[in-house]
Amino acid sequence: MFLLDDNWPLKENVPEIQQLALKQETCKSSKDSNLITRYEPYIKDIKHEKSKLLRIGCLEGRSIRMWHEYFPNAEIFGVDIAGTNVGINSDRVQIYQGRQDDKEFIDKYLPGNFDIIIDDGSVDSLVKIVTFQILFPKVNRGGMYVIEHLQHAYLQPNSIVDFIKDRIDDLNFYGKALRANRKQLVSIPLTYYEMHTKAIHLYPCIAFFFKKDKNE
């Protein structure tokens, strides 16, 4: 765990994204959940790429400002049910007010695809599940979809964690088919998740879904 003082020079040997999380006082920093450490291995090599990031749940904009500073060439999009004031004025940032599980709203204001989608919005499992069903198809090939704060799911029936367990079965669809006594696997049409999910990485409170790239 890294803790920085209130002065803001970059520190040696501390990953930049961890420092930015502290600078913006996000709930992902080492002073809080420290979830940002889980991101660093997956984003360090794409930092300077021209990419599109969508964040669900903006609050006061701390994470939006963090991602804007970390990805200097990325377009940053945000959705929040409460409002659009995130404390930043940039032509690379667009924030929309609406429900994350409203497909009509998503299709109207976010018609394109994204390289990174982060769901840090509602903790309601049904909302998270519907959001994933709407937005995972909008992840570009080779991109990733992140679901944060999974700990809240354990107080809910039919939770997002149960949904993720089913997606793990999708990764192992041949085994799933055998368990169902399907004899002719070749003739069975694959679901969208079976066809497009490359990997799922799980950590305490957070899940990373990776989309297959064009050559897989």
Q: What is the pTM of this model?
A: 0.90
What is the structure's pLDDT at 125?
Answer: 98
User: How many Å apart are CA 179 and CA 197, to the nearest integer?
Assistant: 20
- Nearest CA to 27 out of 116, 99, 121 is that of 121
Give domain 22-211's CATH architecture.
3-Layer(aba) Sandwich (3.40)
What is the structure's pLDDT at 133?
Answer: 98
pLDDT per position in the chain (216 positions), as tens? 334 444 444 555 788 999 999 999 998 887 877 899 999 999 999 999 999 999 999 988 999 999 999 999 999 999 999 988 999 999 999 999 999 999 999 999 999 999 999 999 999 999 999 999 999 999 999 999 999 999 999 999 999 999 999 999 999 887 776 766 655 555 678 899 999 999 999 999 999 999 999 888
What is the structure's pLDDT at 216?
Answer: 83
User: How many Å apart are CA 115 and CA 51, to the nearest integer?
Assistant: 6
- Nearest CA to 130 out of 101, 104, 103 is that of 101
Q: Which two tokens stand for residue 99?
A: 């429900």
